[in-house]
Each structure stands twice: as structure tokens, then as C-alpha cells.
Amino acid sequence: MEGRFFPNKAALFMMLLTVCIAPTLVKGQGTRVGFYSSSCPRAEAIIRSTVQAHFKSDPTVAPGLLRMHFHDCFVQGCDGSILIDGPNAEKTAGPNRLLRGYEVIDDAKTQLEAACAGVVSCADILALAARDSVFLTNGRSWAVPTGRRDGRVSLASDTANLPGFRDSVDVQKKKFADLGLNTLDLVALVGGHTIGTGACQLFSYRLYNFTNTTSSGADASIDPSFVSQLRSLCPQNGDGTRRVALDTGSPSRFDASFFANLRSGRGFWSPIKSYGPMPPPKPSCKAF
């Protein structure tokens, strides 16, 4: 698709991601760019500086925030319900237990309450923080429509539709279609895995005794030389929590190389990612 309108694949990918993440799944809440221009004119600047400060001390918050935003949006829309605490809240569900970045949202919320109390929703903070995370990892920025209302219901049972790391392509397409998203949306959002890491325990099953059609027993779709590399990082019966870059070559740069790696058999895309030891749960940004 390279050509006059999309001079390179990276530009096309960034355009698609922008289209999918920015306005998707807001469920007609009357969002618009510049929603807080009068009520809290420094809102986006405060969130941006907060994300920058946390990113400077810990760059892994960027993929963490992007992932959190996706998990929030995929369940009942982008309403911030992933941030609600409770024994059976969304954040307690299996797919969400490794989410991180809550402290960034809390920090931004505290500063925003001091500047303009009760104005900026937690859902918007998360959406803007995800955008800023992409930009900080050398991706493109985009104008985020704001004005989301915070959800007040958060149920772990509602996370069943989140894409799972063993879902087939057809299953994933069905889950996206159920939300009004097509295959192009799926491919674009999969590209978010260009930053971050995956835990060995979530993909090592593809490296050992996966099939009898290859001499190594590994998944035949993975390049044999890459299988050897992954096995050295994730030995059988080894430390399943060890992390491996999802995008070989540029794990901290938001670009299109993730797709090139997949096409050459040098990828192990797993929607559930690990970003390191997780701190104990703490109170997070609540709906107001």
C-alpha cells in the first residue's frame, strides 16, 4: 500500500492506530477535541508532563499505559472502568492482573484536581496518557477527542471478551466484530505490541512439543533460528516470568518493524504482556 498517500508502511500503521484508538469505543458520549479548553485549559499539558516524568524514570510505563487503555476500551467502551477498585472489579480478572501504570493515572488525577477539581474524567486521563505514551516511544501524536464520562460499573466477568493469547485468528476477528471493529482494526491494534515485552510462560508452549511436523517440535510458523534464540531466553521448565521483547530489534520504539518481524517468522505475538514485577494493588483513580 505504499505510494502517493502513504509513503511508507510506518506512516500507514500510525494512521491506522490513530483511527482505531482515538475515537473508537467511546460509545457516543459527545466527545470532541478540546473539550476542556475552557473548563480546564491545562488538562492535556498536565497529563503530558506527568506521563513524561514517569516515563523518564521508568520507560516501561509506556507500553503499560497503552495496554491498559486497550483493555479499558474493549470492555464496555473507554469509560475508565478498569481503574475502579473492588473484589470483583475488572482489574482483578486474569487478563488484567499484570496491568500497570495506575500510579501514573493517580498522579495526573491528583494534579488535575488541584488545578480544576471535578472536571477531567479518569477515562480521558487514561486515553490521553496512552496517546502520550506512543509519542514518547517515537510514535506519532494525534488529537484525542475528550469528554468521556467515567463508568461506575466494573465487573471482572465482563472481561471475557478480551482477546486471549491462545485465541485463533478467527476467534479474535469475531471478538473485534462483536464491537463493530473489522480486520483492519484488528491488525492496526495488534501493532501496539511494537513496544513492551512478553513473559516466557505465555508463549513458550510454542517452542517445545508444540507439533510433530518440525524436527524441533516448535511451532512451524516461527523461524528456526528465532526458535533457538527464544529457547536460550526461555529454557524449558525455566523461569516463566522472564520477559522477552515483543518487537525484536526495536522493543522501545513505536514503529512498524513488529509487522515485518511477524511476516519473517520472528515474532511471538501474545496479547497478554508482562512488564516486570508488579507492585501490590493500590487505590486508583475513581469515577466521580
Can you spell out the DSSP letters for the chain?
Answer: --SSS-SSHHHHHHHHHHHHHTTTT--S---BTTTTTTT-TTHHHHHHHHHHHHHHH-TTHHHHHHHHHHHHHTTTSSSSGGG--STTSGGGSGGGTT---HHHHHHHHHHHHHHSTTTS-HHHHHHHHHHHHHHHTT----PPPB-PPPP----GGGGGGSPPTT--HHHHHHHHHTTT--HHHHHHHHGGGGSSEEEGGGTGGGTSSS-SSSTT-S-TTS-HHHHHHHHHHS-TTS-TT-EEESSTT-TTS-SSHHHHHHHTT-----SS---SSPPPP---PPP-
Residue 141: pLDDT band (50, 70, 90) is very high
pLDDT at 23 over 90: no
For residue range 144-192, what is the model confidence (pLDDT) as tens digits? 999 999 999 999 999 999 998 888 889 999 999 999 999 999 998 999 9
Percent of the chain beyond pLDDT 90? 68
Over residues 263-276, mean pLDDT: 61
User: How many percent of the chain have pLDDT more than 70?
Assistant: 83
**CA–centroid distance for 17 within its chain:** 11
217: left (phi over 0), alpha (psi -120 to 50) or beta: left
Q: Cell 472489579: give the residue.
A: 89
d(CA 262, CA 247) in angstroms, rounded, equals 9
What local confidence, expressed as pLDDT, does residue 283 receive?
A: 43
Confidence category of residue 12, pLDDT binned at 50, 70, 90:
very low
Average pLDDT, the chain: 85
Q: What is the pLDDT of residue 214?
A: 80
User: pLDDT band at 277, cuts 50/70/90?
Assistant: very low
Q: What is the pTM of this model?
A: 0.83
Q: Which CATH class is domain 42-161?
A: mainly alpha
| Binding site as annotated, residues for Ca(2+) | 72, 75, 77, 79, 81, 90, 194, 247, 255
Structure confidence by residue, pLDDT tens digits, 219-255: 998 999 999 999 999 999 999 999 999 998 888 999 9
What was the pLDDT predicted at 85? 96
111 pLDDT above the threshold of 60: yes
Catalytic site positions: 71
The number of CA neighbours under 13 Å toward the Cβ of 148 is: 29
CATH class of 169-256: mainly alpha
In this prediction, residue 274 has a pLDDT band, given cuts at 50, 70 and 90, of very low
Mean pLDDT of 98-102: 93
* Every domain of the chain and the residues it spans: 42-161, 169-256
Per-residue confidence (pLDDT) for residue 168, from 0 to 100: 87
- 17 pLDDT band, cuts 50/70/90, is low
Structure confidence at residue 269 (pLDDT)? 64
pLDDT of residue 284: 52
pLDDT tens, position by position, 202-216: 899 999 988 877 888
